[in-house]
Each structure stands twice: as C-alpha cells, then as structure tokens.
C-alpha cells in the first residue's frame, strides 16, 4: 500500500492523529491553559479541511481498503459540511460551556471522535464500516449528553439515549448479519450485486431490522421516543451538536445502506419509509404545537423535518436523493443558527429554553430577534429563505414520481408547522418583554457568526442555484 493509494482518506487519518494529540496535550496542559484545547481543536478542523483539499483528491471517485471505504464527491460534500458545522457549533458553544465550567478538554476530544465517526459513515462502503461509523459517533454522543455529570436531567437523557441507542445498534447488527448470511458478503457493492430484485423473505427480515435502526438514528416516528428527552435534557451545546452534524452522517447511513447496498429491496423499503414518513410528519408537527419548552419544540421540529428527508428517499430516484441531501444541508444550517441564537441568549443560571424567555426579544436585542425570525420563516418553508427550496424540491420530486398523497400530506403539515414557527416570531416581535429576563451577552465574534448564519440563509434563499446544482451533481 503506497501513500498515494490512501491519500483520499487523509481526512480520517489526520483526524485520528489529531484526536490523540489533543487528548495528550490537554492532559499535560493542565487547568491554567484552558484556551489551548479549543484552539487546537479548531486548528485541527482547519488542517483537516486543508489537507483534504490539498492531497485528498476532492471530486474523484475511488474505492479503498479492499472495498471498505469509498471516496466520492458525495462523501466530500458531506465531510466538508460536517467540518463547517462542527467548527461553527464549537464557536457558538464556547461561552456557554465556560460559564458552566464544562469546557473541559474531553468535550473537544469527544467532538473530534464523533466527527471521525461522521467521516467514516460518509465514506462507508461496507456493512462493517457502516457499523464502525455508527458506533463511533453514537458512543461519543452518549458521553457528550452526560458531560455535565452533576445534572440529573442530562444524566437521565444520556441513560435513555444509551439504552435505546444500544437496542438500535443491536437491530442494525442483527439486520446486517442476516444480509451477510444471505449474500455472503459485507461489501455494499457485492451485497447490491447479489441481492437482486428477486429475493426471499430472509432479505426482507434483514431489511426490516436495518430500516428500524436507520429510523431510530434519524428519529423517525415511532422510533423517535429518545429525541425530545435528549434534546431537552442535554446541555444546549450538546443539543446543538446532536441537531446538526450527526444528521448529515445519518443521511449518509440511509443513503449508503438503502439506496446502494440494499437497492434490490427498493420496493419494500420505499413502502416502509413511506409509512414512517407520514407518521413522522404528522406526529412531529402536531405535537410541536403544544410544547412550551423551546428545545423540546425544536426536537419535534427536527422529527418533522426528518419526515421530509425520508420523503426524499421514498421517491427512489437520484433526483429525490439529491433533494433529500439538499434538505439535510439546509435544515442543518438553519438549526445551527437557531441554537446559536439560543446559546447567545443564555447566561449562568438562565437557560433561555422556555418559549416565554423569547417574549419581546425584539426590544431587548433586535439583531438576535431578526436572525431568529429569518431562521423560523426558513424552517417554515417561506420564501425568500433557504428552507423554501428544500421543501419545494422534495415535493417536486414526489410529484414527479406520482406520490400524490404524500404531496398533499407534506403540504398540509407545512401549514400546520408554520403555526408554531410563527409563534416564536410573534413572541419576539409582538409580545411585551417579560420582567425577569437578563439581557443577552454581547459577544461580538459569536454575534457576527450568528448574523452571517442568518444572512447565508437569506442569500442562499434568493440564489439557491449553485447548491441545488451541487447536490444534484454529487448524486448523479
């Protein structure tokens, strides 16, 4: 094996070394140099991106490590997006963590291991690689949820997440073992070749377990139970993490497993996903209406948005998957900004997670209110914001493939969803401020980043052409 032959995997290789280095340096740096680890982590992310651009042969299509790993344009897009989202997320979280004394080095190490898991999933080309990626990501995130170990609610959330997540991993592994038993191979290419359109009931059994696991990871109804508790219970910086980069990884999980390895069972899985999507869209949107906790409301909003991503898979066409990819990226970008605003609002002893905390935000902090409004209208799918195109493209692909009932359901739930996003805007702009709300902190750097985040959602909403073209090209 020569260096040139592993160059496309430079991102993962460098990240692995960086994780070890950060862990060691943090252990020796001690309490005095608190700022060192975050800086090193951000540098590692930047270096990863630079190396991928420099030597990673971006845009090529190669299969490495005996078929375990694939480097293709899709993986490149997912990895760069994950890098960006993780880096910006760390920037948003910094002050929240230092206020609560949770900005310890381990958090950054866990973030990097989770990111490595995302990378592995993005490039997975074998059932084995898929499983390694899933576990690497999931175990890191369980620990992150429990990071504030004196917080009872967070510990409870972590426990729920871990137990249910372990069951899902078991399901995934069991499904994979059945598929392996039938095809005699772990590589997704061979599985796809041997599992043709004619297959026995065994393949369906294996597929069912895998779909359940994927649905659990994405948070699709009825496998969503963990999601609201984890979103609400976890420290907000961890909620931000869970709500952003891992969604990209789980998109890849669904895409690589279902539309590549198990493509022979497309008829079955698109039926299963269709049912899941309807349940997810309806329950997510309806239950979100009655929430009074913002993080919990965003959890149900996440569930309903996952419904749209799944709809992209139901189409069974490359264009539909491209629409799902676009939706995922758009949704994560908007969610990142939303949690950025929430984190800016918090103070020590003030979590800013109740809807009432946003009353009259406009008069206290116009910029944050404006950004939040842009993000809420975007999630509701109103032009001229990015979220509109995400929904439009999914619905267009559903029409193109003749799923008329799904189109109607998607449209109706969009209107229902608009109600609770509008409610946030209403609280911020039209209600008088509450009595005991502290002023948000003035952190110029983070403020600027959140502002740019909102601006990007607007600019991409007016000129979405290149991002659509990119998504459609990488999934051609």
Partner 1 sequence: MHGFGLLSVLIWLPILAGLVVLLLGERSIRAGRWVALLASIATFAISILAYTGFDTSTASLQFVEKLSWIPTLNAFYGLGLDGISLPLVLLTTFMTIPVIIAGWTVIEQRPAQYYAAFLIMEGLMIGVFSATDALLFYFFWEAMLIPMFLIIGIWGGPRRVYATIKFFLYTFLGSVLMLAALIYMYVQTHDYSIAAFQALPLTLLQQRWIFLAFLLAFAVKVPMWPVHTWLPDAHVEAPTGGSVILAAIMLKMGGYGFLRFSLPITPDASRELVMLVITLSLIAVVYIGFVAMVQQDMKKLIAYSSIAHMGFVTLGTFGIYAVVAATGSLSGAVLGVDGAVVQMVSHGLISGALFLCVGVLYDRMHSREIASYGGVVNVMPYFAALMVFFGMANSGLPGTSGFVGEFMVILASFKASFWFAFLAALTLILGAAYTLWMIKRVIFGPVANSHVAQLTDLNGREFLVLGVLAAAVLLLGLYPAPLLNIMEVSVHHLVQQAVHSKLPL
Task: Provide the minimum distance between the beta carbon of 291 and partner 1 in the complex, in angstroms, as a whole number.
Answer: 17
Residues of this chain that bind partner 1 (CB under 8 A)? 377, 382-384, 388-389, 392-393, 395-396, 399-400, 407-408, 411, 414-415, 418-419, 422, 425-426, 429-431, 463-465, 468-469, 472
Contact present, 34 and 40 (Cβ < 8 Å): no
CA–CA gap between residue 131 and residue 134 (Å, rounded): 5
Considering the complex, state which of residue 153 and residue 400 has its C-beta at the smaller distance from partner 1: 400
Which CB, 422 or 452, lies closer to partner 1?
Answer: 422
CB of 243 to partner 1, least distance (A): 25
Cβ closer to partner 1: 17 or 399?
Answer: 399
User: Shortest distance, CB of residue 360 to partner 1, whole angstroms?
Assistant: 12
Nearer to partner 1, 142 or 362 (CB): 362
Closest CA to 109 of 28, 30, 27, 49: 27
CB of 228 to partner 1, least distance (A): 25
The least distance separating partner 1 from the CB of residue 400, rounded to whole angstroms, comes to 5
Q: How far is the CB of 373 from partner 1 (least distance, A)?
A: 8
Contact 474, 74 (CB under 8 A): yes
Q: Shortest Cβ distance from residue 432 to partner 1 (Å)?
A: 11
The residue whose two tokens read 């760390």 is 90
Instruction: Closer to partner 1 by CB, 135 or 431: give it.
Output: 431
User: Which residues lie closer than 8 Å to 91 by C-beta, 6 or more apart?
Assistant: 42, 445, 446, 449
Comparison of 49 and 367: residue with beta carbon closer to partner 1? 367
- Whether the link from the prior residue into 176 is cis, omega within 30° of 0, is no
Q: What is the DSSP string of 160-190?
A: HHHHHHHHHHHHHHHHHHHHHHHHS--BHHH
For residues 67 and 434, which CB has a smaller minimum distance to partner 1 in the complex?
A: 434
Q: Residues 228, 284: contact at Cβ < 8 Å?
A: no
Please name the residues in contact with 41: beta carbons below 8 A apart, sequence gap of 6 or more: 22, 90, 108, 111, 112
Please choose, from the candidates 366, 174, 403, the residue with its C-alpha nearest in 3D space to the C-alpha of residue 281: 403
């Amino acid at each position: 094996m020569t260096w040139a032959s592993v160059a496309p995997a430079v991102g993962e290789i460098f990240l692995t070394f960086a994780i070890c280095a950060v862990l060691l340096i943090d252990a020796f740096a001690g309490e005095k140099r608190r700022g060192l680890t975050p800086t090193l982590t951000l540098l590692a992310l930047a270096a990863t991106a630079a190396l991928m651009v420099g030597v990673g042969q971006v845009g090529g299509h190669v299969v490495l490590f005996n078929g375990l790993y694939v480097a293709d344009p899709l993986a490149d897009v997912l990895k760069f997006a994950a890098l960006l989202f993780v880096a910006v997320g760390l920037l948003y979280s910094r002050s929240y963590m230092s206020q609560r004394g949770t900005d310890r080095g381990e958090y950054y190490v866990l973030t990097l291991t989770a990111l490595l898991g995302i990378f592995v999933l993005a490039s997975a080309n074998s059932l084995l690689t898929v499983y390694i990626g899933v576990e690497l990501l999931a175990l890191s995130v369980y620990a992150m949820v429990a990071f504030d170990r004196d917080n009872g609610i967070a510990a409870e959330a972590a426990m729920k997440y871990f137990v249910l997540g372990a069951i899902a991993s078991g399901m995934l592994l069991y499904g994979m073992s059945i598929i392996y038993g039938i095809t005699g191979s772990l590589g997704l290419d061979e599985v796809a070749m041997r599992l043709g359109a004619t297959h026995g009931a065994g393949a369906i059994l294996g597929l069912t377990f895998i779909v359940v696991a994927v649905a659990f990871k994405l948070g699709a109804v009825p496998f969503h139970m963990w999601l609201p508790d984890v979103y609400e219970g976890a420290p907000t910086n961890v909620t931000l993490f869970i709500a952003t980069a891992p969604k990209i990884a789980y998109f890849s999980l669904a895409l690589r497993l279902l539309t590549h390895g198990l493509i022979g069972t497309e008829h079955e899985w698109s039926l299963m996903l269709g049912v899941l999507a309807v349940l997810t869209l309806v329950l997510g949107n309806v239950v979100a209406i009655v929430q009074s906790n913002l993080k919990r409301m965003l959890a149900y909003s996440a569930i309903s948005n996952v419904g749209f991503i799944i709809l992209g898979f139901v189409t069974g066409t490359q264009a539909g998957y491209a629409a799902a990819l676009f939706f995922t990226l758009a949704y994560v970008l908007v969610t990142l900004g939303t949690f950025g605003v929430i984190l800016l609002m918090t103070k020590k002893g003030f979590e800013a997670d109740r809807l009432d905390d946003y009353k009259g935000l406009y008069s206290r902090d116009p910029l944050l209110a404006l950004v939040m409004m842009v993000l809420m209208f975007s999630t509701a799918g109103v032009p001229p914001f990015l979220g509109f195109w995400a929904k439009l493209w999914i619905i267009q692909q559903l029409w193109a493939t003749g799923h008329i009932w799904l189109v109607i359901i998607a449209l109706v739930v969009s209107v229902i969803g608009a109600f609770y996003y509008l409610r946030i805007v209403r609280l911020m702009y039209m209600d008088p401020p509450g009595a005991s709300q502290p002023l948000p902190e003035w952190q110029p750097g983070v403020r600027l980043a959140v502002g740019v985040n909102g601006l990007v959602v607007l600019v991409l909403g007016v000129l979405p052409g290149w991002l659509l073209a990119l998504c459609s090209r990488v999934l051609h």
